Amino acid sequence: MRDEESGLIRDHITRVVRPDDAVIYRHMKPGDTYLNVPEHLRRYRSDIFKYVRLSFEDVSRTITAHIAKDGYWYIHPREDRTLSVREAARLQTFPDRFRFAGHPTSRLRQIGNAVPPLLASAIATEVRRALNGSSTSRGVRERHPAYGSSFRSDLIGWFHTRGRKFPWRDTNLSPWQFLLVEMCLHRTKADQVARVIREVTDIGGTPDSFLANTATLESYLSTLGLDWRLANLASAAEYVRSNLNGQVPDRWPELKSIPGVGDYIASAVQCFAFGRPSVLMDTNTRRIARRVSGGDSTQPVWSLRLHLRDLAGEEGADPQWNQALLDLGALVCRARSPSCGECPVRPHCATGRRNSAESEDVTPARGAGATVAVGGGEG
């Protein structure tokens, strides 16, 4: 579209919602999948069919050509409907001035099959840089490589001397046992879990043994509080046994299909059980990212996730990095009364530098007509 038409919004049309789907949509919160739908409303098997309600606080599911068949993977975060043609195009980074041809189904298929324009632009930029004789790697890594490397080295150096020691660290646990650990740690202090986790992972070392020994395990798990924990773990064990052939998967979407497993637990299992770099997003890591970047409570989760990925350096968010970051949040960068003076990454932290400047000693100058001298620097 050109001239005056380029300012119009076209293709903001979507499918009519079936009455039974409308009921299901109303039960889904942002980020929910088909597993969150009450069983009496499900028309399909939950292990092979996925409704996904998108969330404004997270990245979108990738738009694929399947959206032309149905929009169940792309339910609007707020409205009880699937995405419109224009919304799908925006997620694929097409400008609003771009029109698509044919029936709405054809338009959606074109969008799903397309290379996103901004991705094509990034690739073309690197190709041009290569053809001009520049190093492509330098261009790809221009997002704070030295900053991330320095932050990481300071954090890991501190972790080697001050990091916490837990039974599940530096041990040869199976993926299922790592899943048990992470589900036990959910909403519970790590020190509490440390007192019983050896017994829990030994007695319930496989989904079968866990389900066969729930009565014995209840005495250990009851010390962690939260009465629903045993039921959650039993549901996870049953799902892994019945739907995943007893094996905990190594891919994030399949991990999230397990009952009781959310974003954080799926990422933690991927990292600690399978050694795959994965950014862990919980209250502590989000707080660290926000303070280091100098952001506020309005900073979206996806932005914080990207910032943590940059800080992890070239090695990525591997197990050692994530353990160090979690310990920093627990021991130093606490929600209340953070110990900025003891923080190993304070020179890299926008909040730490600001606090340093604000708390710098104020001393009167000597002699008559004394004035107040305020020191500066990063402390």
| pLDDT tens, position by position, 44-67 | 766 666 788 999 888 888 899 989
Q: How far apart are CA 152 and CA 376, in angstroms?
A: 26
| pLDDT tens, position by position, 217-261 | 998 998 888 778 899 999 999 999 999 999 999 888 889 999 999
Which SS3 state, helix, strand or coil, does residue 25 take?
A: helix
What pLDDT, on the 0 to 100 scale, is given for residue 317? 92
Of 209, 232, 247, the one marking the end of a domain is 247
DSSP 106: H
CB 182 within 8 A of CB 326: no
* 232 belongs to a structural domain: yes
What pLDDT, on the 0 to 100 scale, is given for residue 217? 93
CATH number at residue 82: 3.90.120.10
What pLDDT, on the 0 to 100 scale, is given for residue 131? 87
Same domain flag for 106 and 9: yes
What pLDDT, on the 0 to 100 scale, is given for residue 378? 25
**DSSP-based helix, strand, coil % in the chain, nearest 5:** 55, 5, 45
**Which domain covers residue 189, as residue numbers?**
175-247
Residue 365 CB: number of other CB atoms within 10 A? Answer: 10
**Domains: count for the chain:** 2
Q: What is the pTM of this model?
A: 0.61
* 190 belongs to a structural domain: yes
Of 217, 247, 277, the one marking the end of a domain is 247
Of 186, 220, 247, the one marking the end of a domain is 247
| One-letter amino acid for residue 311 of the chain | L
What pLDDT, on the 0 to 100 scale, is given for residue 4? 73
Terminal CA-CA length for the chain = 56
What pLDDT, on the 0 to 100 scale, is given for residue 343? 94
CATH number at residue 194: 1.10.340.30
* 128 belongs to a structural domain: no
Same domain flag for 182 and 112: no
For tokens 């048990």, name the residue.
Answer: 180
Residues 6+ apart with CB under 8 A from 264: 182, 186, 280, 281, 282
Q: How far apart are CA 162 and CA 326, in angstroms?
A: 12
Same domain flag for 196 and 93: no
Which residues of the chain fall below pLDDT 70? 6, 45-49, 134-148, 356-379
What pLDDT, on the 0 to 100 scale, is given for residue 137? 46
